[in-house]
């Protein structure tokens, strides 16, 4: 099985020992505490589940800048984006060496993790601008990831953490949320050796389905892990429960048995394009995948990134030997009326635009909202029905 990054074994930060867990939970109730941002809470959940292994906690500003500039922390270890706990105020924790981090996304703000504080640093505007530009490729506040990153606060609290729960992800998505530890265990139980991962924040239409099948065939994979983001998205994106239902229906009806795992992870979308693609590959290796699909405008938003920037970054910027996982570079996929099947458009040079069934996301949403099913070449009818019900009832 593929090794986790930087170690022979995965290093989740969740406290699995029952006695230690109970003791820490009791102790945390009387600790000085802060309510963290949703982005920091997602980072804690990812570290708890082993996805960010071998990271031990939240980074210092120096480490975060190193990751932003060249994907390396000060000790030389690889990480593609800053993992910061940024706060607007640190009055409640000044001078403290041990604090509780509280969840912003659950009523009552329960303790999410306990941190041993190594440093509290004020981040300058210049430092924030540098990190933003390097990671997001823009400082435009209209970019949803830029806005979320810059609106957390300017005080960075760093240090190792011990995670006590997985926020709302485990309770709201009990059939879908899985830690990297759990996915590795299931891969082992299924006897899979070659595993493709597919990232999605959207429902899967025919093109996505066929792309997974193409990748599996190309690398002779035993199975595909459809791994959906369960955290916060930008307005207009389809909620996780609807995506989950649509993806499960597609997997049930259109894939052979024991070839698909439908899972999800707890994290807020960054919309950081190329850098987020590298982060996606990083934690897919940690969860046991040997191959990862990176398609056109992967993790992008608007017109901030080139169509294939998220592929070229692996060749041009990722440090050599940083990742063992292999990248399956996919072109835009569409249904060919000439060939009566979904193809990658680069594989059909004799086609004109009219030879493909091409529908924009806006057009599909309009059709679904009006109760019109997209053509079967674009979306499986059973998937379209689930999405139509959502758009009809959410009006």
Tens of pLDDT, residue by residue, the chain (395 residues)? 999 999 999 999 999 999 999 999 999 999 999 999 999 999 999 999 999 999 999 999 999 999 999 999 999 999 999 999 999 999 999 999 999 999 999 999 999 999 999 999 999 999 999 999 999 999 999 999 999 999 999 999 999 999 999 999 999 999 999 999 999 999 999 999 999 999 998 888 888 899 999 999 999 999 999 999 998 877 777 888 899 999 999 999 999 999 999 999 999 999 999 999 999 999 999 999 999 999 988 999 999 999 999 999 999 999 999 999 999 999 888 889 989 988 888 888 899 988 988 866 667 778 888 888 888 888 899 999 999 999 888 76
With 0-12 / 13-18 / 19 or more C-beta atoms within 10 angstroms meaning exposed / middle / buried, residue 303 is: exposed
Do 208 and 130 reside in the same domain of the chain? no
Joined tokens for residue 142: 């209209």
Do 87 and 236 reside in the same domain of the chain? no
Residue 395 has a pLDDT of 62
Joined tokens for residue 370: 């009006």
Q: Is residue 204 part of a domain?
A: yes
- What's the CA gap between 244 and 96, in Å, rounded? 42
Q: Is residue 104 part of a domain?
A: yes
Q: Is residue 132 part of a domain?
A: yes
Joined tokens for residue 18: 């029952």
Do 234 and 306 reside in the same domain of the chain? yes
Do 155 and 303 reside in the same domain of the chain? no
Buried b (16+ CB within 10 A) or exposed e, 121-154: bebeeebbebbbebbbbbeeeebbbbebbbebbb
253 lies in which domain range? 176-393
Q: What is the CATH number of the domain that holds 351?
A: 3.40.50.620
Do 196 and 137 reside in the same domain of the chain? no
Do 158 and 189 reside in the same domain of the chain? no
Do 202 and 296 reside in the same domain of the chain? yes
Q: Is residue 4 part of a domain?
A: no
Q: Is residue 157 part of a domain?
A: yes
Whether cis (ω within 30° of 0) applies to the bond prior to 54 is: yes
Do 231 and 147 reside in the same domain of the chain? no
How many C-alpha atoms does 332 have within 13 Å on its Cβ side?
13
Residues 103, 264, 157, 11, Cα dihedral to 10°: 120
Do 29 and 138 reside in the same domain of the chain? yes
Q: Is residue 2 part of a domain?
A: no
Do 278 and 331 reside in the same domain of the chain? yes
Q: Is residue 6 part of a domain?
A: no
Q: Is residue 5 part of a domain?
A: no
Q: Which of 170, 197, 219 is the last residue of a domain?
A: 170
Do 269 and 377 reside in the same domain of the chain? yes
Report yes or no: 205 and 377 within 8 Å, Cβ to Cβ. Answer: no
Joined tokens for residue 378: 């674009």
Strand order in the sheet with 341-344: 341-344, 333-336, 356-357
Q: Which of 153, 170, 187 is the last residue of a domain?
A: 170
Split into its structural domains, the chain has a count of 2
Do 130 and 235 reside in the same domain of the chain? no
Residue 137 has a pLDDT of 96
| Global pTM value | 0.94
Q: Which of 145, 170, 195 is the last residue of a domain?
A: 170
Q: Which residues are marked as active site?
A: 201-202
Residue 360 has a pLDDT of 67
User: What count of residues does the chain have?
Assistant: 395
Residue 230 has a pLDDT of 92
């Amino acid at each position: 099985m593929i090794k986790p990054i930087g170690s022979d074994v995965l290093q989740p930060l969740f406290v699995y020992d029952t006695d230690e867990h109970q003791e820490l939970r009791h102790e945390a109730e009387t600790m000085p505490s802060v309510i963290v941002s949703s982005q920091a809470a997602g980072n804690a959940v990812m570290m708890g589940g082993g996805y960010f292994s071998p990271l031990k906690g939240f980074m210092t500003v120096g480490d975060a800048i190193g990751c932003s500039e060249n994907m390396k922390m000060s000790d030389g270890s690889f990480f593609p984006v800053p993992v910061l706990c940024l706060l607007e105020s640190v009055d409640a924790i000044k001078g403290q060496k041990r604090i509780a981090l509280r969840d912003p996304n659950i009523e009552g703000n329960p303790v999410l993790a306990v941190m041993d504080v190594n440093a509290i640093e004020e981040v300058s505007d210049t430092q924030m601008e540098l990190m933003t530009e390097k990671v997001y490729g823009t400082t435009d506040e209209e970019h949803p990831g830029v806005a979320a990153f810059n609106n957390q606060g300017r005080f960075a609290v760093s240090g190792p953490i011990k995670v006590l729960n997985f926020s709302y992800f485990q309770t709201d998505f009990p059939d879908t949320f899985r830690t990297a530890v759990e996915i590795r265990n299931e891969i082992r139980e299924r006897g899979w050796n070659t595993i493709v991962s597919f990232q999605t924040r959207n429902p899967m239409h025919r093109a996505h389905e066929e792309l997974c099948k193409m990748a599996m065939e190309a690398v002779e994979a035993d199975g595909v892990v459809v791994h959906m983001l369960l955290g916060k998205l930008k307005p207009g994106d389809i909620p996780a429960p609807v995506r989950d239902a649509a993806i499960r229906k597609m997997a049930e009806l259109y894939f052979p048995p024991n070839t698909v795992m439908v899972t999800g992870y707890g994290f807020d979308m960054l919309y950081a394009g190329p850098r987020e693609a590298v982060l996606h590959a990083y934690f897919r290796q940690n969860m046991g995948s040997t191959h990862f699909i990176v398609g056109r405008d992967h993790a992008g938003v608007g017109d901030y990134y080139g169509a294939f920037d998220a592929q070229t970054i692996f060749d041009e910027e990722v440090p050599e030997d940083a990742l063992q996982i292999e990248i399956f570079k996919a072109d835009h996929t569409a249904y060919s009326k000439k060939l009566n099947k979904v193809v990658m458009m680069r594989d059909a040079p004799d086609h004109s635009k009219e030879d493909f069934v091409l529908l924009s996301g806006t057009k599909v949403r309009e059709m679904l909202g009006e109760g019109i099913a997209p053509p079967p070449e674009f979306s499986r009818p059973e998937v379209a029905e689930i999405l139509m019900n959502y758009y009809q009832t959410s009006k």
